[in-house]
Structure 1
Amino acid sequence: MTSTPAEEPANNATVVDMTKRLPHPPEPAAAPAPAFTAPRDDEAPLIPEWIKSREGRRAARRQMQRQAHNTGRRWVRRQKTERGHHAQIGRGVIRVHSWVVGVEGVHAHAAKHHAHMATKDARATARQARFTVVGRDKARAVAMKHQEEAQHAVAAHKKARREVSRGRMVRGVVAYGLPAAADAAAFVEAGWLGGIGALATLGGLALIGRKPLRAERWDPERRSIGDGDSMNDTMLNDAFRRAGIIAKDAVLTVVHPCGYGRGAWQATVDLPDTTVTAAMKRTEELAGQLGVETVQVSLSRAGRANRLHIWVSTTVPFTGDPVRGPLLGMDKPMSLWGRVPIGPTLRGDAYTVSLIERSGLVGGEPGAGKSASGNNILLAAALDPHCILCLADGKGGGDLEPFEPLCDQYEGEADPEAFFDLLGDVIVDMKLRYALLKSLGKRKVTEALCREYPLLRLKLLWVDELMFFTTDEEWGRKITARLRNIVSRGRAAGIITFCATQKPGSDVVATSLRDLLSIRWALRCTTPQASDTILGQGAASAGFNAKDIEASMRGAGWLYSEGSAPEMVLAYYYSDDEVTDLIERAYRYRAAAGTLPTAAPTLTDRLRAAGGDGVVLAVLLEEYTVGDGADWLPTSVLLKALADAGQLVTDRRLGDLVVRSDEDKVKRPWEGARVAGYSRQLVADTAEKWLADR
Structure 2
Amino acid sequence: MTEIQQTPTPASTPAPTLATVTLLPTVRPADDVDTEAAVLDSARQVLADVAAPAPVEMPVDKTVDLDAFDDAPLLPAWMKSPEGWAAYAGVFYRARRRGFRRWVRRQNTERGHVRQFGRGSRRAHEWVIGFEGVRVQGAAHTAHVLTREARAAARSARFTPRILGTKKELAMKAAEKTQKAAEEAVALHKKARKDRNRVRNLRAGVVYGPPLAAIGGGYLATGLLGAAAGTLATFAGGAFAGRSPYEEEADWSADWRSLGDGDRMSAPLLDASFKAAKVIGSDETLRIVQMPMLDARGAWSTVVDLPPGIPAKKAMRSVDELAAALGVETAQVSVSKKGRSGRIELYVSKDLPFTEKAKRGPLLAIEGATNFWGRISIGPDVRGLHQSIAVVERSGLVGGEPGAGKSASGNTILLSAALDPRVILWLADGKGGGDLEPFEPLCEEFEGDADPEAFYEMLQAAIADMKRRYALLKKLGKRKVDESLANKHPELRQKLVWVDELMFYTTDEEYGKKITKGLRNLVSRGRAAGIVTFCATQKPGSDVVDTSLRDLLSIRWALRCTTPEASDTILGKGAAASGYSAKNIESEMRGAGLLWAEGTNPILVRADYYTDDQVNELLERAADLRAKAGTMPRGPLSLPQQLRELGDDDARILAAVVDEFAARSAAAGEELDWLPGAVLLAALKDTGLDVTAEKLGALVVRTEDEKKANGAWEGSRVSGYLLARVEATITGRWGLTA
TM band (smaller chain): 0.5 to 0.7
CA distance in 2, matches of 1:489, 1:88: 60
Amino acid at match of 2:591: G
> Do structure 1's residue 251 and structure 2's residue 285 form an aligned pair?
yes
Amino acid at match of 1:575: T
> Do structure 1's residue 229 and structure 2's residue 293 form an aligned pair?
no
Deviations 1:625-683 (A, max 9, x none): 99x9xxxxxxxxxxxxxxxxxxxxxxxxxxxxxxxxxxxxxxxxxxxxxxxxxxx99x9
Percent of aligned pairs sharing the same letter: 54
TM-score (norm 2): 0.56
Counting only pairs closer than 5 Å after superposition, residues 204-603 of structure 1 correspond to structure 2 as 218-261=252-295, 262-272=297-307, 273-599=309-635
Deviation, structure 1 residue 82: 9.2
Amino acid at match of 1:348: G
Confirm or deny: 8 A CA contact 2:375 2:388 kept in the other structure: yes
Amino acid at match of 2:486: C
CA distance in 1, matches of 2:631, 2:590: 35
Confirm or deny: 8 A CA contact 1:408 1:600 kept in the other structure: no
SS at 2:539 equivalent: coil
Confirm or deny: 8 A CA contact 2:91 2:263 kept in the other structure: no
Confirm or deny: 8 A CA contact 2:95 2:261 kept in the other structure: no
CA distance in 1, matches of 2:521, 2:612: 34
Aligned residues: 455
SS at 1:315 equivalent: coil
Confirm or deny: 8 A CA contact 2:312 2:344 kept in the other structure: yes
Amino acid at match of 1:565: N
Amino acid at match of 1:231: M
Deviation, structure 1 residue 169: 2.7
Deviation, structure 1 residue 323: 2.8
TM-score (norm 1): 0.59
CA distance in 2, matches of 1:549, 1:590: 39
Amino acid at match of 1:332: G
**What is the root-mean-square deviation of aligned Cα atoms in Å?**
4.2
Deviations 1:581-633 (A, max 9, x none): 0000111111111110025799xx99xx9xxxxx9xxx9xx9xx99x9xxxxx
Deviation, structure 1 residue 420: 0.7
Give the direction of change, closer, same or farther, for the CA distance of 1:217–1:394 in structure 2 (3 Å limit): farther
Amino acid at match of 1:407: C
CA distance in 1, matches of 2:592, 2:282: 36
Confirm or deny: 8 A CA contact 1:104 1:164 kept in the other structure: no
SS at 2:421 equivalent: coil
Deviation, structure 1 residue 572: 0.8
CA distance in 1, matches of 2:494, 2:259: 49
Give the direction of change, closer, same or farther, for the CA distance of 1:359–1:83 in structure 2 (3 Å limit): closer
Amino acid at match of 1:278: K
Give the direction of change, closer, same or farther, for the CA distance of 1:171–1:591 in structure 2 (3 Å limit): farther
Deviations 1:473-507 (A, max 9, x none): 11111111111111011000111100110000111
CA distance in 1, matches of 2:259, 2:543: 43
Deviations 1:510-555 (A, max 9, x none): 1111111000000011111100000000101111111111000000
CA distance in 2, matches of 1:333, 1:437: 27
Deviation, structure 1 residue 278: 2.2
Unaligned runs of 5+ in 2: 1-79, 117-225, 240-248, 658-730
CA distance in 2, matches of 1:90, 1:80: 14
Deviation, structure 1 residue 241: 1.4
CA distance in 2, matches of 1:265, 1:464: 39
Confirm or deny: 8 A CA contact 2:102 2:252 kept in the other structure: no
Deviation, structure 1 residue 221: 4.7
- Name 1:665's counterpart in structure 2: none
Give the direction of change, closer, same or farther, for the CA distance of 1:95–1:164 in structure 2 (3 Å limit): farther
CA distance in 2, matches of 1:231, 1:433: 58
Confirm or deny: 8 A CA contact 1:531 1:546 kept in the other structure: yes
Counting only pairs closer than 5 Å after superposition, residues 102-141 of structure 1 correspond to structure 2 as 106-107=112-113
Give the direction of change, closer, same or farther, for the CA distance of 1:78–1:495 in structure 2 (3 Å limit): closer
Deviation, structure 1 residue 353: 0.5
Deviation, structure 1 residue 305: 1.5
CA distance in 1, matches of 2:558, 2:95: 47
Confirm or deny: 8 A CA contact 2:95 2:262 kept in the other structure: no
Give the direction of change, closer, same or farther, for the CA distance of 1:487–1:448 in structure 2 (3 Å limit): same
Amino acid at match of 1:237: D
Deviates more, 1:486-495 or 1:296-305: 296-305
Give the direction of change, closer, same or farther, for the CA distance of 1:88–1:369 in structure 2 (3 Å limit): closer
Confirm or deny: 8 A CA contact 1:108 1:164 kept in the other structure: no
Amino acid at match of 1:414: A
CA distance in 1, matches of 2:514, 2:610: 35
Unaligned runs of 5+ in 1: 1-72, 111-161, 176-214, 610-614, 629-679, 685-694
Deviation, structure 1 residue 415: 0.7
CA distance in 2, matches of 1:275, 1:557: 25
